[in-house]
Amino acid sequence: MTELLRLLIVDDHEVVRLGMRALLERHPTFTVVGEASTQEEAVTIAEEMQPDIVLMDIRLAGGSGIEACQQIKERLPLTKVIMLTSFAEDELLFAAIRAGATGYLLKQIAGGDVVRAIEGAARGESMLDPSLTQRVFFEVRRSIKKEEAVAFQDLTSQERQVLLLIAEGRTNREIATELFLSEGTVRNYVSSILSKLGVSNRAEAAAYAIKHHLSDHI
């Protein structure tokens, strides 16, 4: 016999809860063990019923579904929380991910998609509404770019040019010729670069430049 997935529905609109319950209880392997309308109720009932999956409205009257998610995950780390919202807001999306949500879905999705999200969450999969996927990748790329830029923030424009040539394997003489500098000036630049990056030799400086994609920040 297939073990039933225990579900908790959290939404401050009774009609939404009733509709969600009617949808889910048609599924042979789902059982709704409770409903909640507030943040406090959600955490209390979750602790009492210990559901496998919580379907959590992101906006609750007098509270936050995101805070409820965080509290539930702290107390019941094995319970999966799927956030449901009518709003595709980037700030809420990333706040939900940081709070430990397994999924983030827009309420406009079809009932079958909700069922598949629950089944996926039970298997340990992270679920994200397809319309939000590009936003996540954009934010990840933006964060990486920001981190990379910080990696070279102490270097002057000329030092970045010198470092780029070091990463290409150029000697001091070759760098001097390329940038119309004296070899002594290049040596000074190299010493300053090593000091600012906290590395001990040219090879480490070159590896640092490649790792943080220096060519994108020239």
Q: Assign residue 196 the CATH number of its domain.
A: 1.10.10.10
Read off the pLDDT of residues 76-115 as tens digits, 9 standing for 90 and up: 999 999 988 876 666 777 788 888 888 888 877 788 888 8
- 125 and 206 in a single domain? The answer is no
Helix crossing, 133-151 with 90-99: angle to 10°? 80
pLDDT at 193 over 80: yes
Whether 147 is in a domain gets the answer no
Read off the pLDDT of residues 125-142 as tens digits, 9 standing for 90 and up: 877 766 665 666 566 566
- 179 and 121 in a single domain? The answer is no
Question: How many domains does the chain divide into?
Answer: 2
The mean pLDDT value of the chain amounts to 87
Write out the residue range of the structural domain in which residue 37 sits: 5-139
- 119 and 199 in a single domain? The answer is no
Read off the pLDDT of residues 41-83 as tens digits, 9 standing for 90 and up: 999 999 999 999 999 998 887 788 999 999 999 999 999 999 8
Q: Assign residue 105 the CATH number of its domain.
A: 3.40.50.2300
- 64 and 103 in a single domain? The answer is yes
Residue 15's Cβ-side half-sphere holds a number of Cα atoms within 13 Å equal to 0
Whether 149 is in a domain gets the answer no
Whether 146 is in a domain gets the answer no
Greatest CA span in the chain, whole angstroms?
Answer: 80
